[in-house]
Amino acid sequence: MKKIAVACLFVLLATTVATLARTQNSANAGPFTGRWVVRADNGDGTFRETVFALEQRGSTLTGRVINPTNEQPIVDGTVIGDNATFAVVTGRPPNERRAEYRATRQEISLAITVTRPSQNPQSLTASRGSATAGDLPARLEPPALHRVPDNGLARTPPMGWNSWNHFRGRVDAATVRAIADAMVSSGMKAAGYTYVNIDDTWEAGRNASGRILTNRKFPDMKALADDVHSKGLKLGIYSSPGHLTCAGYEGSYGHEEQDARTYAAWGIDYLKYDWCGAGRIYKDDEMQAVYQKMGDALRASGRDIVYSLCQYGRNNVWTWGPQVGGNLWRTTGDIGDSWDSMTRIGFGQDALAPHAGPGHWNDPDMLEIGNGGMTNTEYRTHMSLWALLAAPLLAGNDLRSMSPETIAILTNREIIAVDQDPLGRQGHRIRADGVIEVWDKPLQSGAHAVGLFNRGQSPARITVRWSELGLHQGAHAVRDLWTGRDLGRLDAGYATDVDAHGVALVRIER
């Protein structure tokens, strides 16, 4: 979640009018000085706070805007009478985003409006914050580096489902049970999908002994895991090495071993561990040691738990992911349900191929197939590219209401076999001619899976020659994996017409 810290800020505040309680004011400071806190009800018994730490000197306003996972300095802050304007800038070039605010001073509160970007107004209830609202917990020094032993899991890329892309904070235990049922009834389980993964927003806080608690959306995580297991599936969960998760819920900071033991006791089989709030405590060059802490904790938990690192490709994670016990690691920011997002991420993975292999996979993020933002042609391209990349196949749609076309794309056994090939080689680009790309994935049998991609706006004829694949000249058997048709033994190469934004994925025998 990737990007998520920024996204959560705008979800909470965009074009909102919020009454914020002023927590302090000194004789030497202007009337805007203080910590102004808005507390938003998440609807599940938990709350999310955003803090405006403001300092006024004359007509100048400085300070910070702090949400659960990041803090940004105020820029261009100006006060005129009872009104102030200021801005924060999030993201990194060339993806910077500027949020602009207008604040009006009232007797004991402020009315704040986000004037840019503009969205529908949303009212928030005020609460009075303390002088330390939004501050970080005491820093825990990262451990010395060592290698975490391989857990022996995920010898092929994990397959399953994750709640975030479609449900985000709306996920609950009833939905997870229904998704598990749909995974079985739709044929996805039979096709190899195994993990039913709960993303952020399940956490409530901790009890007096520090044990992590679930919120009212998930009243009994152990019973939920037992139910999922009874269907022949596995249950995944989510946390962060920070004190807060991307959505502002309880993270695992300082409780790594305790949380790993709790996950094991519940029967959890997969952990997605999202950097988010840790970025306010640690630097990127400390990331390896921080992830190592949970890797050690999972190994000591007594249960086999797949370890998924989610840190958006920062700090060259593919070079050290296996050393912290990682089975997969995110290589990019969050995917969106659009052609531009999917292709930018998918076609940008070529250089990472040497770092993938059995037990350790590059993760270009979850599948968007079936969420409605792309055509079925584009979703076939999505599935084909992820299969060639030996990427984890984690569906991100609502499995309860899939069209026959979506089911057919997600459960195509021959495409899945490319992804799950036991050789574990990630495919690579062998040619790019403008909008035309040809990718090759060697398979354990000696065959090759070859994707002929048309990224353009009109149909195109695409050819691959046997010499480009390192195959000897002569006849080679070719099979179209989307139509399931044998195309015969062809000399020299293969050519076909490919629709705009489409793909031809073929298997070529040696």
Domain identity same for 401 and 435: no
Backbone φ, ψ for residue 396 (5° rounding) = -125, 20
Of 105, 124, 143, at which residue does a domain stop? 124
Q: Which domain holds residue 53?
A: 4-124
Query: Considering the domain boundaries, does residue 133 fall inside one?
Result: no
Domain identity same for 262 and 325: yes
Of 109, 124, 139, at which residue does a domain stop? 124
Cα distance between residue 103 and residue 30, in whole Å: 14
Contact 195, 394 (CB under 8 A): yes
Which SS3 state, helix, strand or coil, does residue 23 take?
coil
Query: Considering the domain boundaries, does residue 144 fall inside one?
Result: no
Which residues, 6 or more positions from 138, have their beta carbon under 8 angstroms from its beta carbon?
Answer: none
Cβ count near 153 (within 10 Å): 15
Using the predicted structure, report yes or no on whether residue 153 has a pLDDT greater than 80.
Answer: yes
What's the domain count of the chain?
3
Residue written as token pair 């962060």? 240
Domain identity same for 240 and 354: yes
Domain identity same for 297 and 249: yes
Cβ count near 302 (within 10 Å): 11
Domain identity same for 385 and 321: yes
pLDDT at 110 (0 to 100):
85
Burial class (CB within 10 angstroms; exposed 0-12, middle 13-18, buried 19+) of 276: buried
Q: pLDDT tens across 344-379, in order?
A: 999 999 999 999 999 999 999 999 999 999 999 999
Query: Considering the domain boundaries, does residue 143 fall inside one?
Result: no
Query: Considering the domain boundaries, does residue 131 fall inside one?
Result: no
Residue written as token pair 């985003």? 97
Q: Which of 413, 368, 359 is nearest to 394 (CA)?
A: 368
Query: Considering the domain boundaries, does residue 137 fall inside one?
Result: no
Whether the ω angle into residue 94 lies within 30 degrees of 0, i.e. cis, is yes
Q: pLDDT tens across 34-45, in order?
A: 898 888 889 898
Which tokens in the block code for residue 187? Answer: 């044929």
Q: pLDDT tens across 43-81, in order?
A: 898 888 889 999 999 999 999 999 888 899 999 999 999
**Helix, strand, coil distribution of the chain in percent, nearest 5:** 25, 35, 40
Domain identity same for 328 and 472: no
Which tokens in the block code for residue 253? Answer: 């900071």
Of 80, 101, 124, at which residue does a domain stop? 124
Which pLDDT band holds residue 25 (cuts at 50, 70, 90)? very low
Query: Considering the domain boundaries, does residue 132 fall inside one?
Result: no
pTM of the entire structure?
A: 0.91
Cα distance between residue 348 and residue 354, in whole Å: 14
In the chain, % of residues over pLDDT 70 = 92
Catalytic site positions? 274, 334
Query: Considering the domain boundaries, does residue 48 fall inside one?
Result: yes
